[in-house]
Amino acid sequence: MNETDTLVVEGLNGARKIKGTIAVNGSKNDALPALASSLLFQSPLTLTNVPEIEDIERLSTLLIGLGFSITKDKKTLTLDASQLHGATLDRDIAKKMRASIILTGPLLARQGEVHFPHPGGCVIGERPIDLFLDGFTQMGAKVNNRAGMYHLTTADGHLHGTEIFFRQQAVTATETFLLAGVLARGRTILKNCALEPEITSLGNCLVHHGAKISGLGTTTLVIDGGPLLTAKNPTYEIIPDRIEAGSFLILGALVARELIITDCEPEHLEAIIFCLQSAGAKIEIGKKQVIIRATPRQSYRALTIKTHEYPGFPTDLQALMSVFLTQARGESRLFETIFEGRLGHLETLARMGANVSIHNQHQATIVGPTPLVGRTVISPDLRAGLAYLLAGLIAKGQTVIHNVHYIDRGYERIDERLRALGLDVKRQH
């Protein structure tokens, strides 16, 4: 995964050529907090169905820098924190990935201190960390910011349970304080928590290994802190990636005669399935698979898409859905309610021929259907990068995508998997 890699995509010019099967990998957004949860264990924790993506490699490297021993066998990771000796996250790595902040809660709870830079990642708007700093302060930490590094310490080496109300539902904050509460002294009550299935998966795993957590699947979580956990049955199977599954559904709607998406959890896909069906897509739902079959693209109907926290329409599928909407008849409206910088990809789609109007940082309209033309584009973030790939696949001519490393952060070997379906996607180093 080289940062100078490009993807070269030969467009189908509207043709529907593929008929095949594609399997969904383990969830990036479940695997990352699962790695962080290993900080709560005094014995090794084994994770299965872990996606082989850049974000997992980066977070693993951060943990190794703290003294972890990590062994890997294909999609299985075993993490051993028994020799943990550090509390400082590597500046260069942590600055490049937003998810690094999820380590701060369990690390502060276990070590009594943590030092980290402002986390970075994709360029999709400001992502302040006040929610985290305020919460840690409520749990008894003292916060200092020196030379671009945050230094958090506790007076007695422990975080203390408290009641935290999240002013907005936030997945990473919910997970971070859930993890922190497991080792904190006393009871931690988290209110207005996010409801994503990855949070419930994480919580159920911790409960299985002895953590005292109630309220999973609701907006209020109650955690009674205790000692380090000992893995009973030391495995944690990462759940299917619902964003990847949704991405493949949109892919199928655009280019497939029939696409069978396996190893997924249809219950987690209700928002995207409902929207595609409302637009006229033919979708068959199975137990662990979803099948999408060809519908004449001219018959797709315009939609109004408003992103929302789970179980609403995921912001991580907004860019990909906008590609679909360029092929839908009529005027579609997009409302991005989560991030203020996440409509920027529409300017690139306009260069490819889309009829787009961006009204402000949160609202846009797309009039379709319009044919797209291949261009050379630069991916600004993970999801926009894949949106450009989809746009390139339905376009006329060739599309060259730079900054492919963003796509690699969340989609494992996407070029190889798409080629296996018969699509012309090549990686150039």
The Cα–Cα gap between 54 and 57 comes to 5
Which residues sit opposite 145 in a β-bridge? 150
The Cα–Cα gap between 97 and 136 comes to 20
The Cα–Cα gap between 368 and 366 comes to 7
Q: What token pair was written down for 157?
A: 């080496």
Backbone angles phi, psi at 29, to 5 degrees: -80, -5
The Cα–Cα gap between 383 and 414 comes to 13
The Cα–Cα gap between 363 and 343 comes to 8
In contact, 426 and 19? CB cutoff 8 Å: no
In contact, 269 and 50? CB cutoff 8 Å: no
For residue 426, what are the contacts with CB-CB under 8 A and spacing of at least 6? 7, 8, 415, 419
Q: What token pair was written down for 49?
A: 């169905």
Q: Determine which one of 122, 193, 264, 275 is catalytic.
A: 122
The Cα–Cα gap between 70 and 285 comes to 38
The Cα–Cα gap between 355 and 344 comes to 14
101-119 b/e (C-beta count within 10 Å ≥ 16 → b): bbbbbbbbbbbbbbbbbbb
Backbone angles phi, psi at 408, to 5 degrees: -65, -20
In contact, 47 and 235? CB cutoff 8 Å: yes
The Cα–Cα gap between 394 and 68 comes to 45
Q: Could you confirm whether 122 is annotated as catalytic?
A: yes
SS3 content of the chain, % helix, strand, coil (to 5): 35, 30, 35
Q: Which helix (H) or strand (E) holds 130?
A: helix 130-138
Query: Per this entry, what is the length of the chain?
Result: 429
Write out the DSSP string of 84-124: ----B--HHHHTT-GGGGGGHHHHHHHHSEEEEEPP--S-S
Catalytic residues: 122
